[in-house]
Amino acid sequence: MKALITRKIGMTSVIDENGEAIAVTLLSATPNVVTQVKDNEKDGYMAMQLGFEQGKNVGKAQAGHFKTANFMPKIVREIRINEIDENQGVGEKLLADIFSVGDVIDATGISKGKGFAGTIKRHNFKRGRKTHGGRSYRRPGSIGSMYPQHIFKGKKMAGHMGHEQRTVKRLKVALVDTDLNVIGIKGAVPGARKGIVLLQETK
């Protein structure tokens, strides 16, 4: 299972082999360190724990946990795996070159927060008419019936929009620069600049 924790740099465009300009999201892929490998016998499931970027002021419990890897990460993510790779033991570094151009991946990140939004912006509701005495322009309208006397959970209403974990599936790797530790993904990736993006090989 190929996986890498990256940090979003921004977007640009590149020219492909057909001479067409395509939008590409650039991700900083500084080396990830394997901090733990879990197996069925000890943990009940198989997973690989990755650490990203050097951390500061790491607590004693975390310092003890990461001592084996000889690396104190700032960000940690766990990825489920089907089999344990001997080349990806504790302390091993994963570089940008684990992905190659043309690979199909899933990108997971925290979407941009939009604050408190109404139903038109948040759920694409239509506005009310502005003629023939209409006064309800951007109001949500009726939110319930006479019975039962409560609002059902999940009702589409105004509220906090964005800042949620989102995964965009089946994106293609368009660029891999091992010198600069940069990966380019064709299309848009969730999150703002400098946000954390987890790349995983599409299952």
Structural domain containing residue 138: 114-162
> Do 125 and 93 fall within a single domain?
no
What's the mean per-residue pLDDT of the chain? 93
Digit-coded pLDDT (tens) for 140-178: 999 998 899 999 999 999 999 999 999 999 999 999 999
What burial letters (b/e) apply to 69-79, b meaning 16+ CB within 10 Å?
bebbbeebbeb
CATH number at residue 170: 2.40.30.10
> Do 143 and 157 fall within a single domain?
yes
> Do 97 and 178 fall within a single domain?
yes
Write the DSSP assignment of 23-62 as a string of letters. Answer: EEEEEE-PPEEEEEEE-HHHHSS-EEEEEEEE-SS--HHH
* Total domains, the chain: 2
Q: The tokens 């684990």 sit on which residue? A: 98
pLDDT at 137 over 90: yes
> Do 87 and 16 fall within a single domain?
yes
> Do 118 and 108 fall within a single domain?
no
pLDDT at 25 over 90: yes
> Do 36 and 130 fall within a single domain?
no
Query: In the structure, what pLDDT confidence band is assigned to residue 192 with cuts at 50, 70 and 90?
Result: very high
